[in-house]
Amino acid sequence: MKFFIDTAEIDEIRPLVETGLVDGVTTNPSLILKSGRDIFEVTKEICDLVDGPVSAEVAATDYETMVKEAGALYDIADNVCLKVPLTPDGLKTCKFFADQGRMVNVTLCFSATQALLAAKAGAAFISPFVGRLDDIAHDGMGLIQDIRTIYDNYDFKTEILVASTRHNMHILHSALIGADVATMPPKVIHQLFKHPLTESGLAAFVKDWEKTGQSITD
């Protein structure tokens, strides 16, 4: 499963890229606002840091303006993936650019039938928001399972990009179901490293090594 980082903060992305674990980045208008940066400037910096897809989202809600904004966003770098909302105009925009071989990420998906529409429109990625569904007592991971089944039934090439992930279990269940990608805020990917037995075991090894009085490098 691919790991995307859901942030527009360069200082959060760079150290994670250095681990070799980052396959892409997702941004949205809220993350751009939080960064306080110009969308073109920060997106270009992210694209320079990351080899994989970098989702940059349109701000418009109508087809004609989405297409204009898309042209400007695609011009930032070759690895920009256009992000559009799951609306009739968004899907129309998706098809327009997918037919040209461009990457499109269809976002704000909350049902399996919406995901079916995105796949038929040629989306490279569909972004179901599992955390937001969990927030209203709906089964976010159940949605991922339904989408996986539908896509496998018809051999759709659209990749399932699990979004709005909040904790380790979202990532674990996404991998067990067979999602293609999980995008996560930096704090979640850092949580994946954590296990109390790893920490206690390492502390014991360090303590015992100090008692040997040895050095590996000297």
The string of pLDDT tens digits covering residues 63-122 is 999 999 999 999 999 999 999 999 999 999 999 999 999 999 999 999 999 999 999 999
Active site residue 44: no
Q: Write down the pTM of the prediction.
A: 0.96
DSSP structure class, residue 111? S
Q: In sequence order, which residues have a C-beta less than 8 Å from that of residue 13 and are 6 or more positions away? A: 5, 7, 22, 25, 46, 49, 50, 186
Residue 124 domain-assigned? yes
pLDDT for residue 218 is more than 90: no
At 176 the pLDDT is: 98
**Planar angle of CA 92, 42, 188, nearest 5 degrees:** 85
Residue 109 domain-assigned? yes
Residue 88 domain-assigned? yes
The string of pLDDT tens digits covering residues 3-51 is 999 999 999 999 999 999 999 999 999 999 999 999 999 999 999 999 9
Residue 79 domain-assigned? yes
DSSP string covering 142-196, please?
HHHHHHHHHHHHHT---EEEEBS--SHHHHHHHHHHT-SEEEE-HHHHHHHH--H
Q: What is the CATH number of the domain that holds 205?
A: 3.20.20.70
Per the structure, the complete domain to which residue 174 belongs is given by 2-212
State how far the Cα of 187 lies from the Cα of 177, in Å rounded to an integer.
Answer: 22
The string of pLDDT tens digits covering residues 129-176 is 999 999 999 999 999 999 999 999 999 999 999 999 999 999 999 999
Query: How many structural domains does the chain have?
Result: 1
Residue 80 domain-assigned? yes
Residue 189 domain-assigned? yes
Residue 125 domain-assigned? yes
DSSP H helices in 10-139: 10-17, 29-35, 39-49, 63-74, 88-98, 112-120, 130-135
Residue 134 domain-assigned? yes
Residue of 2, 68, 83, 194 marked catalytic = 83
What SS3 state is found at 116?
Answer: helix
For residue 197, the one-letter residue type is: L
Residues facing 107 on adjacent strands: 85
